[in-house]
Amino acid sequence: MIAGAEPINNSALRPPHSERGFVGWVRANLFGTWYNSLLTVASVIVIGAILLFGIRWVISDADWTVIATLGGQMIIGQYNTELACPSQNCFWRPQASLLLVTILLGMAWGVAGGGLTKRIAIGISVALAAFALLPYSFERMGMDVRLLLAANIPAVGLGWAIARYTPLGTGRGIALSAIAVFLVTLILVHGVPNVPGLEPVPVRHWGGLMLNLLLAVAGIVISLPVGIVLAMGRRSRLPVVKLLCVVFIEVFRGVPLITLLFMSQVLVPLAFPENFPQNSLFRAGVVITLFSAAYMAENVRGGLQALHPGQAEAARALGLPGWQTMLFISLPQAIRNVIPAIVGQFISLFKDTTLVYVIGMLEVVAISRAYIQGNTEYLASAKELFLFLGLVFWVFTYGMSFVSRRVEKHLGIGVR
């Protein structure tokens, strides 16, 4: 060592106080340049004004009683009225369906074994059970209703146990259970003739958020396979099939859904024989599903087009027949790559279920509107009601896009 040389202080100096911590963050992100500062000041004024005005309105001026008064009608519409369900209590049927869904969630948690799925399953069941504590009188919200809501917590546990200790605890088991749950839900809600306690409820009395969710789930489940078939048809080498698919897709994409729905009441009955059993809900479901399938087809087609042709060529070279190439090589990769677009289409399908109001179905928005128009004393608080409905839908749609983002991350889409 050279004499006299001082040991070098290796530790670098910390950045000056103005560049780190909260002050540094504010300087970097809010007041970096003069126009940034100007933008910050302008934003603060605008956001502050909105918040000030909004919070004051929410706390003092807004009248939220209309939401409490509507209460269960928003969830099931006219389903449990004397008209729909004479001299019996039908509320337990949607509630029992809900319990089945919670059991499914529990099974998903059991299979995934913790992490996000666990938090979602427990969070949803606790939130549902919390509805049992709503401060309604017992005449409006009976003990049976509250107990069935509270049963969501044991249900999620039951689902977890089923997944852990029975052979149903696999991905395939859950998929089969989900189909079974959907069918059982339909039977429960629709009812079975001549079975006491399960008297059929005419579909025109179905309503509220229940109707939106039923339409959305049925639409989502059916429109994806239909969309895939249409996408394959559009790429087909058979001119007739291709032409039919192109015409179908372009017509359904070119016309507003509301027009299609409204025409479904007029045209769809004509397309079936005269005595074919059908009802307006069935027709609405068919139209919403086909509409969504047309968009889905374009998403899937995009995925198929983006696929490198080498994939299919390699599969053919290995001796796979054409349909196996499509089913096991092309489609899985294509769909995996367009998951964001597909989930976006699911979300828009869910939002579109509000449009069945045109054919007189009382889904959640329609029944709220009808209530406002029937009880003019609530006309002034219509804004509050629709704001609330907006938030309800937001929770569902944002939840869907959140889960989709997690799935994409899990599959590593966009990462090479």
Binding residues vs another protein (CB under 8 A)? 29-30, 32, 36, 39-40, 43-44, 46-47, 229, 233, 240-241, 244, 251, 254-259, 262-263, 266-267, 269-274, 347, 351-352, 354-355, 357-358, 365, 369, 372, 379-380, 382-383, 386-387, 389-390, 393-394, 397-398, 401
Phi, psi of 362 (to 5 degrees): -95, 70
C-beta closer to another protein: residue 108 or 384: 384
CB of 295 vs another protein, minimal distance in Å: 10
Tell me the one-letter amino acid at 164.
Answer: R
C-beta closer to another protein: residue 29 or 166: 29
Tokens of 205: 């009395």
SS3 93: helix
Q: Taking a C-beta distance cutoff of 8 angstroms, is the pair 52, 61 a contact? A: no
CB of 384 vs another protein, minimal distance in Å: 9
CB of 416 vs another protein, minimal distance in Å: 16
Radius of gyration in angstroms for the set of CA atoms belonging to the chain, rounded to a whole number: 27
C-beta closer to another protein: residue 28 or 318: 28
* Residue 346 to residue 216: CA distance in whole angstroms: 8
CB of 308 vs another protein, minimal distance in Å: 18
CB of 211 vs another protein, minimal distance in Å: 14
C-beta closer to another protein: residue 72 or 302: 302
CB of 40 vs another protein, minimal distance in Å: 6
Closest CA to 224 of 346, 406, 328: 346
CB of 402 vs another protein, minimal distance in Å: 10
DSSP 14: P
Q: What does the buried/exposed string (b/e) look like for 302-327 if buried means 16 or more CB atoms within 10 Å of the residue's CB?
A: ebbeeeeeeebeebeeeebeeeebbe
Sign of the C-alpha dihedral computed for residues 7, 12, 18 and 23 taken in this order: negative
CB of 229 vs another protein, minimal distance in Å: 8
C-beta closer to another protein: residue 42 or 183: 42
Closest CA to 84 of 200, 205, 175, 174: 205
Q: Taking a C-beta distance cutoff of 8 angstroms, is the pair 252, 290 a contact? A: yes
C-beta closer to another protein: residue 131 or 262: 262
DSSP 276: -
C-beta closer to another protein: residue 109 or 357: 357
**Chain centre distance of CA 152:** 20
C-beta closer to another protein: residue 81 or 354: 354
